[in-house]
Amino acid sequence: MNALEQISKSSMKENVPEINVGDTIKVHVRIQEGEKSRIQVFEGTVIAKKHGGISETFTVRRVAHGVGIERVFPVHSPAVDKVEIVRKGVVRRAKLYYLRGRVGKAAKVKGLVR
């Protein structure tokens, strides 16, 4: 194993929840403001997952005050404190970019029936 693989293995998180496209999640992000740091929660629908390994990312979309907001979070970032799964979604696509053009109830993802 070379040095690059060892660094990437050591900086990866062990307890990452199983996040899938279509899930509604809460991402607890650590924000640094000068000397202080605080936790901000970003809740939305996962519309994409990309890459793998140390560079794995997921995109979360929400609508606030009628404006769509998307944020891309690295899975293994130290700024991402915690990820909670609010509800599982059932989708038939790997990327849900079509939700960008939808408004209101049309922008919802079907939930998993148990």
pLDDT, one tens digit per residue, over 15-72 is 889 999 999 999 999 999 999 999 999 999 999 999 988 899 999 999 999 899 999 9
Q: Which residues pair with 53 in a beta bridge?
A: none
Please choose, from the candidates 63, 71, 60, the residue with its C-alpha nearest in 3D space to the C-alpha of residue 25. Answer: 60
**pLDDT score for 86:** 96
79 neighbors 29 (Cβ within 8 angstroms): yes
Q: What is the CATH number of the domain that holds 70?
A: 2.30.30.790
Q: Answer yes or no: is 8 within a domain.
A: no
Q: What is the pTM of this model?
A: 0.89
Q: Answer yes or no: is 52 within a domain.
A: yes
* Cα angle 60-65-71, degrees, rounded to a multiple of 5: 20
Q: Answer yes or no: is 76 within a domain.
A: yes
86 neighbors 24 (Cβ within 8 angstroms): yes
Q: Which residues constitute the domain of residue 45? A: 15-101
Number of domains, the chain: 1
Q: Answer yes or no: is 2 within a domain.
A: no
Q: Answer yes or no: is 58 within a domain.
A: yes
Res. 10 pLDDT band, cuts 50 70 90: confident
